[in-house]
Amino acid sequence: MSELMPVLLALTILIGGVAGAAILTWFERRLLGVWQDRYGPNRLGPFGIGQVAADMIKLLFKDDWVPPFADRLVFIFAPTAIVVAMMMGFAVVPFAPGMMIIDVNIGLLFFLGMTSLAVYSVLLGGLASNNKYALLGGLRSAAQMVSYEVFMGLSLIGVVMMTGSFSLVDIVEAQTDVWFCFSQILGLIVFIIAGIAESHRLPFDLPEAEHELTAGFHTEYGGMKFAMFMLGEYLGLMLISCMIVTLFFGGWHGPMFIGDWLPPFFWFSFKVFVVICFFVLLRAAIPRPRYDQLMSLGWKVMLPITLVNILVTGAVLLWMEGIA
Amino acid sequence: MLEIVFFYIASTVALMATVMAMTRANAIHALIYLIVSLLAVAVIFFLIGAPFAAALEIVIYAGAIMVLFVFVIMMLNLGEKGDKQERQWLQPSIWAGPAILSTVLLIELVIVISQTSGPVSVTAVSAKQVGLSLFGPYVLAVEIASMLLLAGLVGSFHLGRRYLERDNLEKQGGQ
């Protein structure tokens, strides 16, 4: 049984990830409606949840068209890359004690590697479309994601220093008493901002800024290939939320004043849900910055913050070692 | 046993992808093959007990440096013209010389490797050990690398600053 566990879990993640992303498209629109004082999709089925099925039917039955001027093979390959990379990223997420596909001692680096590979999807999609809007979107995403990958990696160094390990299980275990969201508050802020930029969601969705680039890198995409991009984006959102909970909010541990009397998986999924709602709130509340503002925010604000965070964390750790 | 099978699969993929990367006329197709080759090398690193090197290979080489390569190709946007030039450069008269010379090196390498006995050590090297040796015996190399990076940083700062100043001058001239 214990050998079958990872296989079963992988299948569950595969199906649950796709279903979760589909439901998330509806959930996000409803939640945006609440925060922006309007309804959102509310016609089909109870609370409008039938909208998910309607959208899927529409996307599935659309003509699967490749523009004649596009680079055919790369055009078809691009949307799969983001889905595969994001799905692979879930392999190291510890959902509950023993409930993860693999616990490797480089878990955190594996996650960073998979998110950095997801960049190719947007890049190649923009390039293969052979369309100037798509190309501009791809160019923007390349610069944006390569820059924010740097801060994403650096913001996690504090957590790794405090744990002394890249293994995500060790990181969760180290938060049994106090979550890292207090001691690593700077790392958390930078990681959230970098996470939005990496999954190129609003407010940082400049690769597909519709008022200036029509639809950015996926201008030429339609039907299921477009759906794959969307699936990848929502999988990225879920993956980033899982990582925020794992790295900064104690993973499967309950809040310290309530304790662990509810099942660990409940705490994990509840926290992930709250973080996803927070991301939707950000989307509803914050306008999109200009492209140069985004880049200068990264290099002039986020980079110094992360470096100071690493310096202070290291100094405090050494000081505490000296006391003990 | 299974590891050896995986090793040979990964190295076959790496070799094939590298050959394809060299022979493609379209720069983007060549780059995708190069990325596949890097991923295959990462798998090999993982199999011979260097998971940290494997992760860095993916994060840095496949995930960052290659993205910048694609970025440059997108900026240049050569298209058909670039493919044509690339096909011209792929004439046997151009690559035959280097190929013969590197074949000599390859034969030498194969002979040297076949003389060493036993498999490569497969003791897993953790991230901690890598860090300790980087800041222990190899600290000089780390410092030299940081100086090299500083030079690159100063250079790019210089280029970017001149550009900004010129922009400001033009603005003032306009007013």
**DSSP secondary structure, B11-54, as one string:** HHHHHHHHHHHHH-SSHHHHHHHHHHHHHHHHHHHHHTT-HHHH
Q: Which residue has the higher pLDDT, A147 or A205?
A: A147
Percent residues over pLDDT 70 in chain A: 94
Instruction: Give mean pLDDT, residues A210-219.
Output: 69
Beta carbons of A116 and B59 less than 8 Å apart: yes
Provide the pLDDT for residue B146.
92
Disruptive mutation site among A116, A133, A165 for chain B (greatest number of B CBs within 10 Å)? A116
What is chain A's mean pLDDT, rounded?
83
Q: For chain B, which residues lie within 8 Å of any Cβ of chain A, measuring from their own Cβ?
A: 26, 28-29, 32, 35, 51-52, 54-56, 58-59, 62-64, 67-68, 70-71, 73-75, 77, 126-128
Amino acid at A260: D
Beta carbons of A110 and B127 less than 8 Å apart: no
pLDDT higher than threshold 80 for residue B55: yes
Provide the pLDDT for residue B68.
83
Chain B partners of A104 at a C-beta cutoff of 8 Å? 51
Provide the pLDDT for residue B165.
64
> E strands, B76-126, where?
none
Nearest CA in chain B to A135: B74
Measured distance between the N- and C-terminal CA atoms of chain A, rounded to whole angstroms: 44
**Nearest-CA distance from B42 to chain A in Å?**
11
pLDDT one-digit tens code per residue, A68-123: 877 778 888 888 888 888 888 888 888 878 777 877 788 888 888 888 888 888 88
Beta carbons of B74 and A106 less than 8 Å apart: no
Distance between CA A70 and CA A124 in Å, rounded? Answer: 11
Chain B partners of A152 at a C-beta cutoff of 8 Å? none
Q: Using alpha carbons only, what angle is made at residue A276 by residues A31 and A56, rounded to the nearest 5 degrees?
A: 65
**Nearest-CA distance from B173 to chain A in Å?**
23
Provide the pLDDT for residue B104.
93
Q: What is the DSSP code string of A236-283?
A: HHHHHHHHHHHHHS-TTPPPTTT-S-S-HHHHHHHHHHHHHHHHHHHH
Instruction: Give mean pLDDT, residues A115-134.
Output: 82
**Nearest-CA distance from B58 to chain A in Å?**
5
pLDDT one-digit tens code per residue, B91-109: 777 778 888 999 999 999 8
Q: Which two tokens stand for residue B125?
A: 């090297």
Measuring CA to CA, how many Å separate A136 from each of A14, A141, A201? 32, 9, 17
Provide the pLDDT for residue B148.
93
Tell whether A124 is within 8 A of chain B (Cβ): yes
Report which listed range, A18-22, A252-256, B12-16, B51-55, is most confident: B12-16
Distance between CA A5 and CA A92 in Å, rounded? Answer: 14
pLDDT one-digit tens code per residue, A154-179: 888 888 888 888 888 888 888 877 78
Chain A partners of B28 at a C-beta cutoff of 8 Å? 71, 74, 124, 127-128
Q: Given CA atoms A269, A272, A278, A281 in this order, what sign does their dihedral have?
A: negative
Distance between CA A260 and CA A103 in Å, rounded? Answer: 22
Provide the pLDDT for residue B171.
65
ipTM of model: 0.81
pLDDT higher than threshold 70 for residue A200: yes
Provide the pLDDT for residue A184.
84
Provide the pLDDT for residue B172.
65
Whether residue B71 contacts residue A135, with contact meaning beta carbons closer than 8 Å, is answered with no
Give the global pTM: 0.85
Beta carbons of B51 and A105 less than 8 Å apart: yes
Provide the pLDDT for residue B140.
92
Tell whether A128 is within 8 A of chain B (Cβ): yes
**Nearest-CA distance from B161 to chain A in Å?**
14
pLDDT higher than threshold 90 for residue B144: yes
Chain A partners of B51 at a C-beta cutoff of 8 Å? 104-106
Distance between CA A142 and CA B36 in Å, rounded? Answer: 19
pLDDT one-digit tens code per residue, A25-62: 888 888 888 888 888 787 877 887 888 888 888 888 88
Provide the pLDDT for residue B157.
82
pLDDT higher than threshold 70 for residue B81: yes
Residue among B58, B67, B126 whose CB faces A119 most closely:
B67
Measuring CA to CA, how many Å separate A49 from each of A30, A55, A60? 9, 11, 18
Distance between CA B126 and CA B75 in Å, rounded? Answer: 39
Distance between CA A308 and CA A186 in Å, rounded? Answer: 9
pLDDT higher than threshold 80 for residue B22: yes
**Nearest-CA distance from B86 to chain A in Å?**
17
Return the H-helix or E-strand segment holding A206.
none
Whether residue A200 contacts residue A145, with contact meaning beta carbons closer than 8 Å, is answered with yes
Percent residues over pLDDT 90 in chain A: 2
Beta carbons of B28 and A104 less than 8 Å apart: no
Percent residues over pLDDT 70 in chain B: 87
Q: Using alpha carbons only, what angle is made at residue A240 by residues A237 and A243, rounded to the nearest 5 degrees?
A: 150
pLDDT higher than threshold 90 for residue A322: no
